[in-house]
């Protein structure tokens, strides 16, 4: 049984607006990232000067939100979305998607505040969208050229195994399904029913890619290097891994009879290596 059409058909990825370039919004979710929020926004704007930044703070007790407000007062390209409490990465991103779409975003990028996503790779994430070759770009640690220089063997096995498991169960031919360094065209986010996104942690990355693929998005991967955070404490936990496992099985069960929706004007999807 074919899947139902998305709420909004996916249009071509934006190449330019009436102002001459796509409106790029970069989402930076934060929780207790006071040491990083200033340097990461400075680095982003130095790399992509035309970008706008939305800092999403989940009520950080360390004063991240107040510092973000100071940055926004100084730089008109920065906006801040305050949330009352920590409700998970996925809920923060859903709120952020709605916010930047309402602000007229053409392209939406996700960047971790802790510098684990090096900003030097932002141009390579944006280029396939600007060229009209993709609707969603995944920053990949596992395609040729991708690197994780400081991970031990256990972390590599857990991360790579999670991507392989998700790819096999959900029939997605992408090598890095758990990474969060991603760039969406706005029509893709509008085609996804944001109310149906349930994951609160890093499983959210699998869920959004899966829903984008069902909606007919052209998805490509570009190599990145994943670095260790510069300051602060990691939010990763066993509960997050467990959530990802259950989410993948749930998505497979709920969508067993759904097929990927092909766009009438879609070019053949970029060939991708199987995830195993």
For the chain, how long is the longest CA-to-CA vector? 53
Residues in Cβ contact with 92 at an 8 Å cutoff, skipping those fewer than 6 apart = 29, 56, 58, 83
Residue 92 belongs to what H/E stretch?
Answer: helix 89-102
Neighbours of 194 (CB within 10 A): 16
Question: In the CATH scheme, what is the code of domain 24-254?
Answer: 3.90.550.10
> What pLDDT band is residue 96 in, cutting at 50, 70 and 90?
very high
Beta bridge partners of residue 202, listed in sequence order: none
The pLDDT tens digits for 222-267 are 999 998 755 545 544 456 566 667 777 777 777 756 655 544 444 4
What does the pLDDT read at residue 171?
A: 92
Q: What is the pLDDT of residue 238?
A: 56
Nearest 5°: the CA angle 77, 83, 84 is 150
List Cβ neighbours of 42 (8 Å cut-off, separation of 6 or more). none
pLDDT in tens, 121-174: 999 999 999 999 999 999 999 999 998 887 788 777 777 888 888 899 999 999
Rounded to 10 degrees, what is the CA torsion of 96, 245, 187, 219?
130
Is 107 in contact with 183 (CB distance < 8 Å)? yes
pLDDT value, residue 268: 45
């Amino acid at each position: 049984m074919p899947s139902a059409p998305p709420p909004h058909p996916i249009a071509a990825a934006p190449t330019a607006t009436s102002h001459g370039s796509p409106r790029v919004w970069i989402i930076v979710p934060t929780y207790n990232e006071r040491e990083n929020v200033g340097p990461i926004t400075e680095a982003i704007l130095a790399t992509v000067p035309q970008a706008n930044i939305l800092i999403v703070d989940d009520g950080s007790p360390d004063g991240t939100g107040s510092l973000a407000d100071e940055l926004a007062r100084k730089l008109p390209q920065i906006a801040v979305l305050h949330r009352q409490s920590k409700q998970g990465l996925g809920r923060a991103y859903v709120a952020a998607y709605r916010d930047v779409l309402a602000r007229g975003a053409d392209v939406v990028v996700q960047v971790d505040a802790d510098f684990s996503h090096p900003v030097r790779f932002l141009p390579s994430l944006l280029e396939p969208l600007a060229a009209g070759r993709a609707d969603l770009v995944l920053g990949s640690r596992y395609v040729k050229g991708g690197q994780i220089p400081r991970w031990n063997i256990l972390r590599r096995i857990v991360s790579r195994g999670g991507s392989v498991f998700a790819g096999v169960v959900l029939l997605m031919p992408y090598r890095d399904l758990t990474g969060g360094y991603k760039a969406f065209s706005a029509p893709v986010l509008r085609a996804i029913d944001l109310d149906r996104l349930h994951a609160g942690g890093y499983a959210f990355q699998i869920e959004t890619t899966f829903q984008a693929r069902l909606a007919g998005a052209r998805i490509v991967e570009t190599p990145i290097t994943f670095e260790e955070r510069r300051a602060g404490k990691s939010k990763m936990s066993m509960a997050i891994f467990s959530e990802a496992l259950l989410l993948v099985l749930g998505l497979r069960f709920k969508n067993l009879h759904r097929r990927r929706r092909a766009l009438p004007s879609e070019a053949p999807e970029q060939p991708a290596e199987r995830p195993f």
